[in-house]
Chains A and B, each alone.
Chain A
Amino acid sequence: MSILPLIILLLAMCATGYWYGSKKALSAPLPVRYLSSGNPHQFGLFVVVWGVLPPAMLFILWLVFSFLPIDADGSIAQQIDKVVFPALIMLGAAAGLYMAIREINPKLRVRKSLERCVYAALLLASTLSVFTTVGIVLSLLFETIQFFEKVPYSEFFLALDWSPQTAMRADQVGSSGSFGAVPLFTGTMLITFIAMIVAVPLGLMSAIYMTEYASRRFRATVKPILEILAGIPTVVYGFFAALTVGVFFRDVGTAIGLDVVTESALAAGVVMGMMIIPFISSLSDDVIMAVPQNLRDASYGLGATKSETVLKVIIPAALPGIVGAILLAMSRAIGETMIVVMAAGFAANLTANPLEAVTTVTVQIVGLLVGDQEFDSAKTLAAFALALTLFVITLCLNVIALLVVRKYREKYD
């Protein structure tokens, strides 16, 4: 029996259970029903929960077992898969439904039981994302450990040269590769820095304009348009950076006698800044809106102008949120891939000159994993080491953001 009919059958059983359960609850004499601790619909749901829970448990158990390395004969395994398991599930569901229906009586605290189910479901949903994070970190971690068995820590973190070419066969001509990640991280920092220089002032000022100066009608029309920026796929930004902005900067550079390459850090950084403007402006906008009106009134009432009020009252009061917004946008910029792949290129130059080509950690990860590769070569594993380092950096940023927010919140509440 395959999974779809099984689910349909289960649903049908639950529906019947619901109908029967609510009917049984209704059949109690009226005065008793008044005293009962739930309405018929809740009794029905109670039955359904008991119909669904045992099969769900069994299903999870079965999943766990199927992952365990049990040496079983293929035909037996198939037998279990096709016959025993569905039968078990049906049996579980039927038993659950039967027990629940038998339990129904006006004294049953059905609302409290349902509340516990809601609690469990919510708890499950929230822990699931935590487990996913843990899973991601672990998967990165094991590959990274493998990588560092092949390449020493000192080389990865301190060497200034990045050319991850390894020979695929023993007799092949080729270097053993050098895995100094420093140029990648400086490149990432350079581009992120340029992006923040573009995005922070523009984003913040647009948020201030939208909240403090713009009329309600203007705000209602322009703000959604601004937020469209956030919905543009990053690939499109990549086009824009590579084909328009990069070329434009090169032409301007040539015109004023500067040597600007087309794939410059400047072009990638500026376009990335454009991309994160909506993050900063929209998050700051919310924070600024949340500053109590009576602080504004107090400032105006003392004869302050709008800009004085913004500068001396609103920004300080909203600062924790603004800092949080900026750091969030920064992690976003650090992890951004597509724009830099298209606009900044693969050349791992160690430079602070924004007019030259640089590369970033994310670009190199793409480069390392694209194409045919053995999965245990240092080249491929380097991608995991890079990813883990990047993850640690953004994690630190987020932690700092949290700390800053918390510290200032104490001060400004």
Chain B
Amino acid sequence: MLAKDMNTVYNDTKSIISAKDVSVFYGEKRALKSVSLDIPENQITALIGPSGCGKSTFLRCLNRMNDTIENCRVEGNITVDGQDIYAPHVDEVLLRARVGMVFQKANPFPKSIYDNVAYAPRIHGLAKNKDELDDIVLASLEKAGLLDEVKDLLNESGTGLSGGQQQRLCIARALAVQPDIILMDEPCSALDPIATAKVEELIEELRKNYTIIIVTHSMQQAARISQKTAFFHLGEIVEIGETEQLFTSPNDKRTQGYITGRFG
């Protein structure tokens, strides 16, 4: 009820992703209960909520990463640019190229920095020759704000970087596929405050060209960088709203309880 009302308010910005009545089952267990959410284009949408509330599960529905989990079933309707991504003819591999993902734990491949970023362009055949590939790699590192730090280390292993650099490398790697949407699953939870600040700065910078959906446990982070926030609780969306409004005057008691630190 409430969720619907809030959505109508934000229809002035075009929504790029629209989820309707999405339910997710892990075997018999229902992890997500009829969640509906519209994601506005070129904005940062934050998903907050206590652990196990289904926010990561929801995020993983948006690029069908849940397909890789055995026994996981997704019901409902999710469209990206008006196209149903769970329709039978949709190639989930191409979808994941359009909807990139950055994970909680920085997970660079045990390859060189260059090969990490070049991984996706290579498998998708985005570059015709070595020069083009070089351009893509350097541009992606540049966009991720990492180029200055690693331009002499391109052939060094990506796992040798610091935690924050690794996470930005993962972002660069995701950018190299030229996605429209980037999903971030608690990208800063393993980083120290300085590295976090850098990654946040980068996320805000990326908003100009990408739609970003970020799952976070840090309410300050959600408040700092997002324009829209959805509060998940026990597999449902309790409240969706403009970030500032949601944090200053939440409509729901549970939201208020969570953001003031009374539970969660």
Contacts and interface: CB of A to CB of B under 8 A. Distances in A.
26 contacts: A215-B70, A216-B70, A294-B105, A296-B68, A297-B68, A298-B107, A298-B108, A299-B109, A300-B65, A301-B65, A302-B96, A302-B97, A302-B100, A302-B173, A303-B93, A303-B95, A303-B97, A303-B124, A303-B177, A304-B119, A304-B120, A304-B123, A312-B123, A317-B109, A412-B110, A413-B110
Contacts of B119: 299, 302, 304, 312
Interface string B233-255: 00000000000000000000000
A313 interface: yes
A295 B123 CA distance: 16
Interface in A311-369: 312-313, 316-317
4 residue pairs, one from A and one from B, having the closest CB atoms: A303-B97, A301-B101, A294-B107, A302-B120
Interface residues of B, number: 28
B236 to A, nearest CB: 26
Contacts of A303: 93-97, 120, 123-124, 177
Contacts of B177: 302-303
B94 A302 contact: no
B60 to A, nearest CB: 9
Interface of A: 215-216, 292, 294-305, 308, 312-313, 316-317, 411-413
| Interface SS, A side | helix
Contacts of A298: 103, 107-109, 170, 173
B74 interface: no
Nearest to A311: B123
B103 A411 contact: no
B28 to A, nearest CB: 15
B110 A317 contact: yes
B63 interface: yes
B7 interface: no
B90 to A, nearest CB: 13
B100 A305 contact: no
A294 to B, nearest CB: 4
**Most B C-beta atoms less than 10 A away, residue of A297, A299, A316:** A297
Contacts of B73: none
Contacts of A313: 109
**Most B C-beta atoms less than 10 A away, residue of A298, A312, A313, A316:** A298
B120 A300 contact: no
A330 B157 CA distance: 31
B111 interface: yes
A301 B174 contact: yes
Contacts, number: 70
A316 B159 contact: no
A3 B94 CA distance: 77
B123 A411 contact: no
Contact of B174 (A216, A300, A302): A302
A324 B120 CA distance: 30
A317 B174 CA distance: 20
B102 to A, nearest CB: 8
A316 B111 contact: yes
Contacts of A294: 103, 105, 107
A312 B119 CA distance: 9
A316 B110 contact: yes
Contacts of A317: 109-110
A215 B70 CA distance: 8
A322 to B, nearest CB: 14
A297 B183 CA distance: 13
Interface string B15-43: 00000000000000000000000000000
Contacts of B94: 303
A217 to B, nearest CB: 10
A339 B54 CA distance: 57
A301 B109 contact: no
Nearest to B157: A411
Contacts of B70: 215-216
B96 A300 contact: yes
Nearest to A408: B110
Interface in B146-185: 157, 159, 170, 173-174, 177
Contacts of A305: 93
A126 B152 CA distance: 48
Nearest to B101: A301
Nearest to A294: B107
A297 B107 contact: yes
A272 to B, nearest CB: 34
Contacts of A216: 70
A184 B108 CA distance: 49
A296 B68 CA distance: 10
B204 to A, nearest CB: 22
A308 B123 contact: yes
B123 A300 contact: no
B107 A413 contact: no
A293 B153 CA distance: 26
Nearest to A410: B157
Nearest to B68: A300
A312 B173 CA distance: 15
B100 A301 contact: yes
A304 B14 CA distance: 29
A169 to B, nearest CB: 67
A413 B174 CA distance: 22
**Most A C-beta atoms less than 10 A away, residue of B65, B70, B95, B107:** B107
A223 to B, nearest CB: 16
**Most B C-beta atoms less than 10 A away, residue of A300, A303, A308, A412:** A303
Contacts of A413: 110, 159
Contacts of A297: 65, 68, 101, 103, 107
Nearest to A215: B70
Given A294-B103, A300-B96, A303-B97, 10 more contacts: A295-B110, A297-B68, A300-B68, A301-B96, A301-B101, A302-B97, A303-B120, A304-B93, A316-B110, A316-B111
